[in-house]
A = this chain, B = another copy of it.
Amino acid sequence: MIYLDNAATTYPKPEAVYLEMDKVNRFLAVNAGRGSYKRARDASKLIVDTKDRLRELVHANMSTSIVFSPSVTIAMNQIVHGLNLRENAIVYVSPYEHNAVARTIHQLSKNKKIFIKELPINEETLAIDIERTRYEFSKDKPNAIFCTHVSNVTGYILPVEEVFEEGKRYNSINVLDAAQSIGLLPMNVALLKADFIAFAGHKTLYGPFGIGGFINVAGIKLSEFITGGTGSDSLNLNMPHDNESKYEASSINIVAVAGLNAALKKLNQSEIWEHEIELTHYLVERLRQIRGIHMYLPVEKNKHIGILSFVVKDMRSDEVGMILDEDFDIAVRTGYHCAPFIHKYLKDKNSSGTVRIGLSQFSTIEDIDALVSALKQLEE
């Protein structure tokens, strides 16, 4: 199998991830707890160490709180519902948001009157229009902004720094969806102006399923969302007050944490970036040679990494995916990719969405050549 569905989940992981998960499964898969027996304390230490490695990766202060959740989706739900937005709050979302944001804010709007606005984009270039964003913010001042860092559909790198900086002029709370960027793009919390950074362990960090979370850069208190046991303060019907365990109800998945820990030890962000930007350029160049393929590309070629979407003239994208799978054993993802807003600009509904290629640090020139050769046969 040639695996090009890395935007869904990176596969494979570094060998160390598999080894460490199996080891911890066998020797340390107990309920972490500071005050308990030795292995429970060791499990706690592994959690602390993993958070420290994440802080280092994003150049966060060592006192910055990081909350582990079973997935970035749950982390995003905690943020959206925990923010306690006031009635009539104005919430901006980028048109590139994933349903973890889009559906969750929609869900919030069922119980509370808020105004949801899309960040304006240039319909030609598909880029966020910063000028119009500035204008919109001055007219309808943002209380919160949700913006993804890298589009899970097109691989476009959004200008989050500019958008968030502009939002901060109105004291907006800025939430970054880093599911497709953490570990791939350089990230420095001091420059990003994000108050929350939500992340998935199993994508660009090369960890396993079962672990994600958020970095609470500004230390903003959220209200409780998921409640349950915390192994502390058990007689209190409210969750504990501290800025991490308050949002970490239930046993932490220590095996997944171990996988993420091993992944972080191996992660070399700048090397991965270099490899993927090069492959992305190569992919674009090769696909340009095939007639009938329309790609969704940003104007600047370095504003695009790791993910690429295209449609094939006169074919449904799921058909293309099926042929790639059945005839060539190439795994891609087709459809709308859980991103509900962007397709009105991509105008891809006639093809039932796009064919999406997701690269990883383990993708090769040969993988791309195989894809291109398959697509050329499709054309004939």
- Min distance, Cβ A41 to any Cβ of chain B, angstroms: 9
- Are B1 and A29 closer than 8 Å at their CB atoms? no
With a 10 A CB-CB cut-off, give which of A3, A74, A251, A335 has the most chain B CB atoms: A251
- Are A251 and B8 closer than 8 Å at their CB atoms? yes
Q: Is A77 an interface residue (CB 8 A)?
A: yes
Q: Is A309 an interface residue (CB 8 A)?
A: no
- Min distance, Cβ A354 to any Cβ of chain B, angstroms: 11
Enumerate A296-336 residues with CB–CB distance to B below 8 Å.
318, 321, 324-325, 329-336
Q: Whose C-beta in chain B lies nearest to the C-beta of A203? A: B251
Given that A210-B209, A230-B99 are known contacts, is A249 also in contact with B70, CB under 8 Å in the complex?
A: no
Interface size class, chain A: 35 or more
Q: Which 4 pairs across A and B sit closest by C-beta, in order of nearness?
A: A229-B338, A70-B70, A73-B250, A73-B228
Q: Is A236 an interface residue (CB 8 A)?
A: yes
Q: Whose C-beta in chain B lies nearest to the C-beta of A2? A: B37
State in angstroms the CA–CA spacing of A253 and B255 once bound together: 12
Chain B residues whose C-beta falls within 8 Å of the C-beta of A31 in the assembled complex: 5, 8-9, 333
Q: Is A22 an interface residue (CB 8 A)?
A: yes
Q: Is A51 an interface residue (CB 8 A)?
A: no
Chain B residues whose C-beta falls within 8 Å of the C-beta of A8 in the assembled complex: 30-31, 33, 251
- Across the interface, A25 reaches (CB within 8 A) one of B18, B37, B38, namely B18
- Min distance, Cβ A208 to any Cβ of chain B, angstroms: 6
Given that A21-B21, A325-B37 are known contacts, is A254 also in contact with B103, CB under 8 Å in the complex?
A: no
